[in-house]
Structure 1
Amino acid sequence: MAKTLTPIKLLLLLPPFLILTIFYLSFFNQIHFNIIFFPNYLPNNNNQSNPSISNINHHHHHHHHGNISFITKILILKKEKEKKNNNNNHSLEKIENGLARARAAIRAAARRQSYKLEGDEIFIPRGPVYRNPYAFHQSHKEMVKRLKIWSYKEGERPLIHQGPMSYVYGIEGQFIQEMESDISSMTKYMANNPNEAHLFFLPLSIVNIRVSFYNTTDVNDRKPMKTILTDYVNVIANKYPFWNRSHGADHFMLSCHDWAPEITLTNPKLFKNLIRALCNANTSEGFQPLIDVPIPEVNVPSKELNQPSLGVQTNKRKILAFFAGGNHGHVRKFLFEQWGQDDEIQVRENLPKTQNYFEILGQCKFCLCPSGYEIASSRIVEAIRAECVPVVVKDNYSFPFSDVLDWSRFSIHVPKAKIPEIKSILKGISSQKYEELVQGVKSVKWHFTFNRPSKPFDIVHMVLHSIWLRRLNIRL
C-alpha cells in the first residue's frame, strides 16, 4: 500500500526558494486583506496624528514589525494616492459638468434672443454695441453663479499680492486688490479650497517687480524679472497638482506693464497655455487673442477711481479731433508730421498749465488714440469717459472686451497707413452716424468705469468675464 504524503512532508520536498515564495505571498495577501477591509489597520505606532490608527498600531504591534510595516506603508500610501486622485477627478468632473451647463445656457439665450431677468439688476446690456446682448447677459449670470477662483497664497509683498493703484498701470493693483481683499464684492468668486476652483490666479505684479529690480539707467537686462516669474510658477507647480494637470491652461495673470508680453514669453514651453490679461495686447509681439485677454489701460487718478466727466452736449462740441501726449513711437511721429500744424485735427505735445485736459476732451467730437512706444494707451478709456468717439490709430491691436463688444459701433479704427486721411474720414461721417457712435460710447461707458467695491458689468467684472470666457473655451 502506497504511503500517503502529509502536507508538511510534501512541503519539505519542495525547493527552498519555492517554500519562501509561498510563505511571502501568503503573508503579503494577509496584509493586503487587512488594509482593504480594515482601513485603519497600520502595524506601526509611529503615526500619532490619528488616534484610531495609533490604537490599532499598539494593539497589533506585537504581531507584526520590521519589514511588515514597510510593506504596509507602501500599500497605505498607494491607497491614499488613489483616494486623493479619485477625489480630484470627482472635483474636476463636477467643475466640467457645471461649465457644460453654463455653455448650454448661454447658447440657449443666444437662440431665443431674450433675457432671463432676476431681481434688481443694476445693468442690462442692450443695443447694437453688443455682438449678442442676450448671450452676454446670460454668460455674465453664469459667471456670477458658478465661477470660483483660487488665488495662490505664496509670495510676499510688494512683488506678489500688491500692485500700483493709480497712474497708467493702475488697473493692475486695482484688480489684485479686488481679488484678494476681504471686503471686496469679488469675494463671492474666491474658492474656499483649490479643488473647487475653475481658475487659478497668479497675483504677481510686473510693475512692482520692475520697480524693485531696476533704476532708470539700468533697464536692459530683464533676466531677473523672467527668473522671478519662472520661479514663482515652479513653486506652485511643485506644491500643487493644478498647474501640471492643465499645463497652465486654467491659470491666469494680469499685467499692464509694457514688458509683460516679453517677460511671460521667456519660457514658451512653460507659459504657452497661461491666460495672460494684458494691456499691451499687440498681436505682432506674441499676444494670442484666443488664449490671452486684452484689457484696457486706465490712467487711474491718485485720489479718485475715475477721471472727471466734464463734457458738454455733443451738438455743442466744436473741436473735430484732438490728441495731447508725448511724440514717441512711429505712429505718433507720423501723426505729428501730418497734423501737427492743423486747426481742425489738433495734435499737441504739451498743453499750457492753464488748460484742463479733460475739459478739452469734453469739447471734442472725436478723440485720437494713437500708439506710443507700445500699443497700449489710456487714451481710449479717457475718450469713452468724456463721451468722445475714440479714433483708434493702431496696428495689430486686440481690442478689450471684443468678445462681447462690437467696437465699430462706438469707435473709428484708422491704421497707421491712413493717418493722412484722418480728416477726410472723420468729415465723411454723417450726422446720423455720428450720433449713433455717441450713443454707442454712452452705452459702453459703464464697462470702463471703476467701482469700489466692484459692481456687475463694470471694468473689473468685464476683465473677469473675458477671463471666464477663455475658461469656457477649454475642457480639462
Structure 2
Amino acid sequence: MAATTAILFLVLLASLSATSSSPYFSATTLFQNYQNMLTSFRIFIYTPTKPFNFPNPPASLFYSSLLRSPFVTQNPAEAHLFLVPFSPDTSTRSLARVIRELRNNHPYWNRTLGADHFFVSPAGIDYSSDRNVLELKKNSVQISVFPVVSGYFVPHKDVTLPPFSTSPLALLDGLEVNSTKTTSFLGYLNWDGMTEPNLVNELKGDVDFLVEEKSEPLNYMRSVTESKFCLFLYHGEVTWMVEAMALGCVPVVIVDRPIQDLPLMDILRWSEIALLVAVPRSGAKRLKEVLNGLSEEKYAEMRELCVAASKHLVWNEEPQPLDAFHMVMYQLWLRRHAVRYARREFG
C-alpha cells in the first residue's frame, strides 16, 4: 500500500509542469503525514442505538468505507478519535439522549467534553440550548456535505465531504484534457433549475456563456470541454464539479459571502485552483470582467492544478489511495490532537 501510494503521489506531482505551483499547501508534509496516518490512525466507533443508513451518497460511502477500513479498532484505549454514529433524521431530543448516555456510560467523552469525537451529519446540525448537543456542536468534528447551510459549519474544526459524481467517471475516457484546447464559451453553467436568479437570466442572454438546465452527463461533459470556466452557484448544483475539474475547466464558485467549507480545505490551495466570485448587484457584467481579467498564463496554471486536485475528490466503492475517502480521513488525522482534562475529572 505504501509503495502504491508513493508511486501515485509522484505521478500526480510529475503531471504538473516544472513551472507550475502545487495544488497542495505542502506536498512533502502531506505525503509524510499520509503515510503515518495509514499505519497508525485508529478510530473507535460507538454502537449506534439502532441500525441506520445515510441516503446521501458521499456520507453513505464515507461511513461504509470507514466501517470496512483498517482504521477501525475495537480497543478504545488505542483510539485517536471516537465516532458518534446516529441517523441523519435524529431529533435534537434524541441526539441529546445519545450524548448523555455516552457521558454516563463511557469515560471517553468526559475526558475532552467531546473534542476527540466526530460525527457524520450530511446537512450539519445547528446550535442547541441543550448542554449535550451544544458540546457536540462546539467541540466535536462535524462531517457534512458541501455546501453547508450558513451557521452550521465551524471553520478549522469541521470537515465537508467532496461532492459525489452522479455520472460514471468512465465517460471521461473519451474526453481527454488538451493543454492547448480551444474553447467556444467563456463560461458554462449546468443549472439545476430550482431557482431563477437574475444572474442566470443575464447569463442566458450572453453569447459568451452557455447555460443548460440539468443536461445529461455526456452532453454537459462535452459542454465542459468547450468552455474555459465552469460556473457553480453556491448552494446550487455542484455534483459535476469533479468531472469539470478533471477535464480542465476551471471552477468558478459564485457566492454572496466568504466560503469556509470547501472540501479538503486543509490540503488543497483552493485560491490557486478555483475562482470565488461575489456577484451581488453588478451581475453578469462583473463576472465577465473577472473571467476576462485572468491572464492566459494564470489560467493555464489553474487548469493544471484543478486537474491534479480532482484526483483527490473522487469517491470509489472500494477506496483507493489518495482518493476522497482517504483525504477526508487525513483531515480527521490532522484533528486527532485534543487537550484532555485531568484524570480526576472523569475517574
TM over 0.5: yes
Match of 1:347 in 2: 211
Farther-moved stretch of structure 1 (119-128 vs 383-392): 119-128
Q: Give the unaligned 5+ runs of structure 1.
A: 1-117, 210-223
Which consecutive aligned stretches of 4+ in structure 1 deviate over 6 angstroms post-superposition? 263-266
Whether 1:396 aligns to 2:258 is yes
Find the aligned partners of 1:405 and 1:363 in 2 and give their Cα distance: 26
For 2:8, what is the secondary structure of its paired residue? coil
Match of 1:405 in 2: 268
For 2:265, what is the secondary structure of its paired residue? coil
Whether 1:204 aligns to 2:86 is yes
Match of 1:145 in 2: 39
For 1:323, what is the secondary structure of its paired residue? strand
For 2:50, what is the secondary structure of its paired residue? coil
Q: Percent identical across equivalent pairs?
A: 25
1:311–1:362 contact (8 Å) kept in structure 2: yes
Match of 1:324 in 2: 190
Residue 403 of structure 1 aligns with an amino acid whose one-letter code is D
User: Which structure dedicates a bigger proportion of its chain to helix?
Assistant: 1
Find the aligned partners of 1:255 and 1:350 in 2 and give their Cα distance: 27
Residue 291 of structure 2 aligns with an amino acid whose one-letter code is L
Whether 1:254 aligns to 2:116 is no
Match of 2:50 in 1: 156
User: Are the structure 2 counterparts of residues 290 and 281 from structure 1 closer, same or farther at C-alpha, using a change threshold of 3 Å?
Assistant: farther
Residue 60 of structure 2 aligns with an amino acid whose one-letter code is G
For 1:276, what is the secondary structure of its paired residue? strand
> Scaled by the length of structure 1, what TM-score is found?
0.61
1:345–1:423 contact (8 Å) kept in structure 2: no
Find the aligned partners of 1:471 and 1:349 in 2 and give their Cα distance: 42
Residue 8 of structure 2 aligns with an amino acid whose one-letter code is F
Residue 381 of structure 1 aligns with an amino acid whose one-letter code is V
Question: CA offset at residue 470 of structure 1?
Answer: 1.8
Find the aligned partners of 1:342 and 1:243 in 2 and give their Cα distance: 56
Question: CA offset at residue 426 of structure 1?
Answer: 1.4
Match of 1:359 in 2: 222
User: Are the structure 2 counterparts of residues 364 and 256 from structure 1 closer, same or farther at C-alpha, using a change threshold of 3 Å?
Assistant: farther
What RMSD in Å do the two structures reach over aligned CA positions? Answer: 2.8
For 2:327, what is the secondary structure of its paired residue? helix
Match of 2:304 in 1: 439
User: Are the structure 2 counterparts of residues 270 and 328 from structure 1 closer, same or farther at C-alpha, using a change threshold of 3 Å?
Assistant: same
- Structure 2 residue aligned with 1:385, among 234, 246, 252? 246
Question: CA offset at residue 391 of structure 1?
Answer: 0.5
CA displacement 1:383-440 (0-9 Å, x = unmatched):
2233311001122322221212111222111123364311121122222222111110
For 1:243, what is the secondary structure of its paired residue? helix
Match of 2:101 in 1: 235
Question: CA offset at residue 264 of structure 1?
Answer: 7.6
User: Are the structure 2 counterparts of residues 281 and 231 from structure 1 closer, same or farther at C-alpha, using a change threshold of 3 Å?
Assistant: farther
CA displacement 1:91-141 (0-9 Å, x = unmatched):
xxxxxxxxxxxxxxxxxxxxxxxxxxx634242263521111111111112
Residue 410 of structure 1 aligns with an amino acid whose one-letter code is I
Residue 338 of structure 1 aligns with an amino acid whose one-letter code is E
- Higher gyration radius (CA): 1
For 1:130, what is the secondary structure of its paired residue? coil
Find the aligned partners of 1:298 and 1:450 in 2 and give their Cα distance: 7
Q: Where in structure 2 are the equivalents of 1:295-306 lying within 5 Å?
A: 295-301=161-167, 306=169
User: Are the structure 2 counterparts of residues 370 and 264 from structure 1 closer, same or farther at C-alpha, using a change threshold of 3 Å?
Assistant: farther
1:171–1:298 contact (8 Å) kept in structure 2: yes
1:311–1:361 contact (8 Å) kept in structure 2: no
Match of 1:290 in 2: 156
User: Are the structure 2 counterparts of residues 354 and 466 from structure 1 closer, same or farther at C-alpha, using a change threshold of 3 Å?
Assistant: closer
Residue 93 of structure 2 aligns with an amino acid whose one-letter code is T
User: Are the structure 2 counterparts of residues 427 and 191 from structure 1 closer, same or farther at C-alpha, using a change threshold of 3 Å?
Assistant: same
Question: CA offset at residue 151 of structure 1?
Answer: 1.4
Q: Give the unaligned 5+ runs of structure 2.
A: 14-20, 341-347
Match of 2:62 in 1: 175
Q: Where in structure 2 are the equivalents of 1:35-54 lying within 5 Å?
A: none
User: Are the structure 2 counterparts of residues 409 and 466 from structure 1 closer, same or farther at C-alpha, using a change threshold of 3 Å?
Assistant: same
Match of 2:294 in 1: 429
Whether 1:416 aligns to 2:279 is yes
CA displacement 1:137-163 (0-9 Å, x = unmatched):
1111221122100111233222xxx22
Find the aligned partners of 1:450 and 1:275 in 2 and give their Cα distance: 21
Find the aligned partners of 2:244 and 2:218 in 1 and give their Cα distance: 17
Match of 1:134 in 2: 28
Match of 2:17 in 1: none
1:170–1:300 contact (8 Å) kept in structure 2: no
Find the aligned partners of 1:147 and 1:320 in 2 and give their Cα distance: 45
User: Are the structure 2 counterparts of residues 203 and 154 from structure 1 closer, same or farther at C-alpha, using a change threshold of 3 Å?
Assistant: closer
> Scaled by the length of structure 2, what TM-score is found?
0.82
